[in-house]
Amino acid sequence: MASMKKIELDIVALSHSVTQSHNYAVVLGEQQGTRRLPIVIGGFEAQAIAVAMERMAPNRPLTHDLFKNAFETFNIDLKEVIINNLLDGIFYARLVCEKNGEIYEIDSRTSDALAMAVRFNCPIFTYEFILDAAGVVLEEPEGTGSAARKSVSRTAAKQRPAKGAALTSYSVEELNKLLDDVLNKEDYEQAAKIRDELTRRQAGG
């Protein structure tokens, strides 16, 4: 496995899953290509990713913030995250850590690994066989780089279930105010929904 070529991914969208109503989908896109890798995750992990990506400041540290603080306290650096296997539709990941020049690998749920990656701002990798098995090619294959990432966000936003449609009636200013309100209440699930709607507007979808 170690000799296999790693493919670097970016988180390009975070949206409601169309298949499972109580879950979210985090969409990863390859940096040097047009394939994306949608992974269904739970609401708590979606909140944890959204909070870190948007640099929201929770009143109290979330579990992944606590984990990051513990790593830093003991001088452990998270070097990279690798989505290293896919079995029966379940993604597996590893945290590649460094302490005192030694490398350690820790097994992790993929959603937790992504929540840690955004906190440490470290790269996310996977392997070709996983993209072959679970990757989806963009509808606009000629786009690469940021253009491709924007189209992924737009596509993912379109897939939100109708129950989130109420947010579409708000103006951008109202959405930003609502976002502040729900953050004060520590309602990160609603914050993720509002952020998704704001992202959709910015993408022109």
Distance CA 135, CA 57 (A): 33
Query: What total number of domains does the chain contain?
Result: 1
Q: Looking at the predicted structure, is the pLDDT value of residue 17 above 50?
A: yes
Whether 182 is covered by a domain: the verdict is: no
**Which has the closest alpha carbon to 55: 119, 146, 123, 111?**
119
Parallel/antiparallel/unpaired status of strands 24-30 and 6-16: antiparallel
- Within a domain: 189: no
pLDDT tens, 153-201?
Answer: 333 333 333 334 467 777 777 777 777 777 777 677 777 778 777 777 7
In a domain, 36, yes or no: yes
Let me know if 169 is exposed, middle or buried by CB neighbors in 10 A (0-12, 13-18, 19+): exposed
Over residues 69-78, the mean pLDDT reads: 96
181 located within any domain: no
Least-confidence region, from 41-45, 73-77, 88-92, 99-103: 41-45
pLDDT over 80 at 10, yes or no: yes
- Contact 9/124 with Cβ under 8 angstroms? yes
DSSP of 96-137: EEEETTEEEEEEEEHHHHHHHHHHHT--EEEEHHHHHHH-EE
Question: Is residue 198 in some structural domain?
Answer: no
Question: Domain holding 64: CATH number?
Answer: 3.10.690.10
Query: What range does the domain containing 54 cover?
Result: 6-162
Residues 6+ apart with CB under 8 A from 145: none
**14 within a domain of the structure (yes/no):** yes
Q: Could you tell me if residue 194 is inside a domain?
A: no
pLDDT for residue 145: 45
Backbone angles phi, psi at 37, to 5 degrees: -125, 100
Higher pLDDT, 199 or 69: 69
199 lies in some domain: no
